[in-house]
């Protein structure tokens, strides 16, 4: 009987000891205390949480960080880098870019899932106040009707009629990659630089600066930083579809070592004789949106292979060229 009593006493002491240890542990860094923590303990726990989190807490922190990042970038423009194009054709076979309608076909012809007919039709909405030759009278007729009404049901009916027309033109431009563009004449060459021996050429579409997403612009404004966006080229018939260049900065300077050739090109620049800057390249990537992915803008990004300056009236007369 005495033995039994001692055993019960020993068990009670053991349980009490365990309880004391548990109370101490409950106030430790990992477990919530059963009694309110002192300010010193709160500060200690905060420091521990920052500098020595448990594996579970680290996983939780990472999950929360990823959620914040996803939310922050949820509306960012979306881009697709295209695979390397097939074998390069002769430069004379490059497709000449002349209109925003053509850019619509090429953009969607290279996109895995083209935009729906309603979105495509709506991209013309603000540009059809002026009559443009879109290369398809039926397309033009339907788009004029689409732009002249605000009735959503009527617009959807028109979009259904437009769908096979868009589909045909997009299929005709499936995987059109090699393109040529006559750069806008409003962007001139600089006068000859005798130190560098060449001419500078700096259209905004050649800028190395990428367009900032909306949240990045807000941050820049908040800290008093200048917001810089890469320029682009748009056509009057559909300004929702833009063109820019991924490596334009490599073509910002056109070297002309030969002094005779330099004199000839300088005469065009100074006397404002008509000349044309032709850019050859391949479609490198696509971007949906400008500041955010829900914008109307769709941008085709071209990697330049060759730049040629020619006499505008006699294109066979080459004044300078640059290629990599």
Residues 139, 51: Cα–Cα separation, whole Å: 64
Range with the poorest average pLDDT among 122-131, 173-182, 243-252, 296-305? 122-131
Residues 14, 10: Cα–Cα separation, whole Å: 6
pLDDT at 7 over 50: no
Range with the poorest average pLDDT among 69-73, 79-83, 266-270? 69-73
The strand ranges marked E within 39-123 are 78-81, 95-96
Give mean pLDDT, residues 62-67: 87
Considering the domain architecture, whether residues 38 and 125 belong to the same structural domain is answered as: no
pLDDT per residue over 133-154, tens digit each?
898 999 999 999 999 999 999 9
pLDDT per residue over 22-47, tens digit each?
444 444 445 555 688 899 888 898 99
Structure tokens at 313: 């009236």
Mean pLDDT, all residues of the chain = 84
Considering the domain architecture, whether residues 140 and 245 belong to the same structural domain is answered as: yes
Range with the poorest average pLDDT among 1-15, 80-94, 174-188, 282-296? 1-15
pLDDT tier, 304 (very low <50, low <70, confident <90, very high otherwise): very high
pLDDT per residue over 193-240, tens digit each?
999 999 999 998 998 755 555 545 555 545 555 655 668 999 999 999
Q: What is the pTM (predicted TM-score) of this model?
A: 0.75
Q: Note the pLDDT of residue 271.
A: 93
Residues 166, 171: Cα–Cα separation, whole Å: 8
Considering the domain architecture, whether residues 167 and 112 belong to the same structural domain is answered as: yes
Considering the domain architecture, whether residues 16 and 82 belong to the same structural domain is answered as: no
Q: Note the pLDDT of residue 70.
A: 76
Considering the domain architecture, whether residues 20 and 137 belong to the same structural domain is answered as: no
Give mean pLDDT, residues 40-58: 90
Q: Note the pLDDT of residue 98.
A: 95
Considering the domain architecture, whether residues 301 and 170 belong to the same structural domain is answered as: yes
Considering 72, 101, 116, which residue would you say is the last residue of a domain?
72
Considering the domain architecture, whether residues 294 and 210 belong to the same structural domain is answered as: yes
Considering 45, 72, 99, which residue would you say is the last residue of a domain?
72
Considering the domain architecture, whether residues 95 and 123 belong to the same structural domain is answered as: yes
Considering the domain architecture, whether residues 61 and 107 belong to the same structural domain is answered as: no
The domain in which residue 276 lies consists of: 78-323
Which residues lie across from 96 on neighbouring strands?
180
Considering 25, 48, 72, which residue would you say is the last residue of a domain?
72
Considering the domain architecture, whether residues 67 and 186 belong to the same structural domain is answered as: no
DSSP code at position 234:
E
Instruction: Give me the number of domains the chain comprises.
Output: 2
Structure tokens at 183: 């750069």
Q: Which residues contact 10 (CB under 8 A, 6 or more apart)?
A: none
DSSP code at position 316:
T
Q: Which residues contact 162 (CB under 8 A, 6 or more apart)?
A: 117, 120, 121, 139, 142, 143, 146
Considering the domain architecture, whether residues 148 and 198 belong to the same structural domain is answered as: yes
Considering the domain architecture, whether residues 280 and 310 belong to the same structural domain is answered as: yes
């Amino acid at each position: 009987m005495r033995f039994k009593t001692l055993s019960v006493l020993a068990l009670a002491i053991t349980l009490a000891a365990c309880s004391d240890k548990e109370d101490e542990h409950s106030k430790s860094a990992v477990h919530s205390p059963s009694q309110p923590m002192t300010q010193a303990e709160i500060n200690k726990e905060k420091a521990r949480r920052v500098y020595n989190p448990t594996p579970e807490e680290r996983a939780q922190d990472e999950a929360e960080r990823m959620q914040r990042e996803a939310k922050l970038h949820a509306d960012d423009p979306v881009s697709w880098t295209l695979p390397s194009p097939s074998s390069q054709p002769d430069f004379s076979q490059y497709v000449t870019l002349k209109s925003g309608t053509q850019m619509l076909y090429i953009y969607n012809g290279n996109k895995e899932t083209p935009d729906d007919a309603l979105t495509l039709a709506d991209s013309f909405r603000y540009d059809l106040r002026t009559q443009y030759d879109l290369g398809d009278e039926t397309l033009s007729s339907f788009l004029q009707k689409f732009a002249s009404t605000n009735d959503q049901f009527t617009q959807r009916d028109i979009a259904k009629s437009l769908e096979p027309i868009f589909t045909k033109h997009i299929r005709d431009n499936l995987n059109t990659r090699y393109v040529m563009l006559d750069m806008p004449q409003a962007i001139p060459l600089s006068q000859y630089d005798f130190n560098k021996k060449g001419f500078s050429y700096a259209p905004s579409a050649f800028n190395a600066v990428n367009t900032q997403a909306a949240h990045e612009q807000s941050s820049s404004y908040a800290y008093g930083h200048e917001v810089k966006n890469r320029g682009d080229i748009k056509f009057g018939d559909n300004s929702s579809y833009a063109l820019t260049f991924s490596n334009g900065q490599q073509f910002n300077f056109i070297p002309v070592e030969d002094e005779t050739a330099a004199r000839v090109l300088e005469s065009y620049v100074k006397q404002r004789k008509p000349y044309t800057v032709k850019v050859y390249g391949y479609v490198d990537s696509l971007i949906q949106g400008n500041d955010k992915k829900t914008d109307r803008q769709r941008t085709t990004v071209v990697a330049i292979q060759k730049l040629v300056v020619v006499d505008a009236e006699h294109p066979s007369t080459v004044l300078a060229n640059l290629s990599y």
